[in-house]
Amino acid sequence: MLATLTSGIPRDKKIWTQRIDDLDRTFVRKRKIIAINIGNPNLIKITFKTFRHWKATMEYHKTKDILYVKELLGHKSIKNTLIYTHLVDFENEDEYIVKVASTIEEMVILLESGFEYVTDYQDKKILRKRK
């Protein structure tokens, strides 16, 4: 699939100038070196498809919209996308970190760190972020 994206593009304008097979061999070799260096043989199990599964699972966890994930992955059938739903644990779904902002500077810092605005209370802003 990556090769079709680069067809017709001059070699000096390509992101990957190597052949796809060369990229795969490089990935496998580097993965093995890292697994040996940090002493974790489980890293050898990681493939490009692992990253795809991780992204799909995280998107489903964030959005809870299986149709969005289906479109994101380009699946024709929802059955293929439903594979990712069993990986998501919604038990701790209602656990939040709650912060209160008194000034605009505090509000900016909290928003930039991933908090979302909930409401005002006694001239203060209440924000939350999932644990």
Q: What pLDDT digit, counting tens, does each position of 31-58 carry?
A: 899 999 999 989 888 888 888 888 888 8
Strands 116-121 and 96-101, bridge-based pairing: unpaired
What is the C-alpha to C-alpha distance for residues 112 and 98, in angstroms, rounded to an integer?
Answer: 15
CB 125 within 8 A of CB 117: yes
Span 12-19, mean pLDDT?
65
CB 126 within 8 A of CB 118: yes
Domain count, the chain: 2
Distance separating alpha carbons of residues 127 and 131, to the nearest angstrom: 13
Domain residues for the domain of 62 are 2-87
Same-domain pairing of 72 and 110: no
Residues 57 and 116 in one domain: no
Question: pTM of the full predicted structure?
Answer: 0.50
- pLDDT given for residue 91 in this prediction: 63
Task: Give residue-wise pLDDT tens across range 102-114.
Answer: 999 999 999 998 8
* 65 has a pLDDT exceeding 90: no
Say if residue 44 is in the same domain as residue 78.
Answer: yes
Please give the full DSSP string across 35-66, using - where no structure is assigned.
Answer: HHHHT-GGGGG--HHHHHHHHHHHHHHHH--H
In a shared domain, residues 83 and 107:
no
Per-residue pLDDT tens over the stretch 75-103: 898 888 887 777 666 666 667 889 999 99
Q: Under 8 Å CB-to-CB from 121, ≥6 apart: which residues?
A: 100
Average pLDDT, the chain: 82
124 has a pLDDT exceeding 70: yes
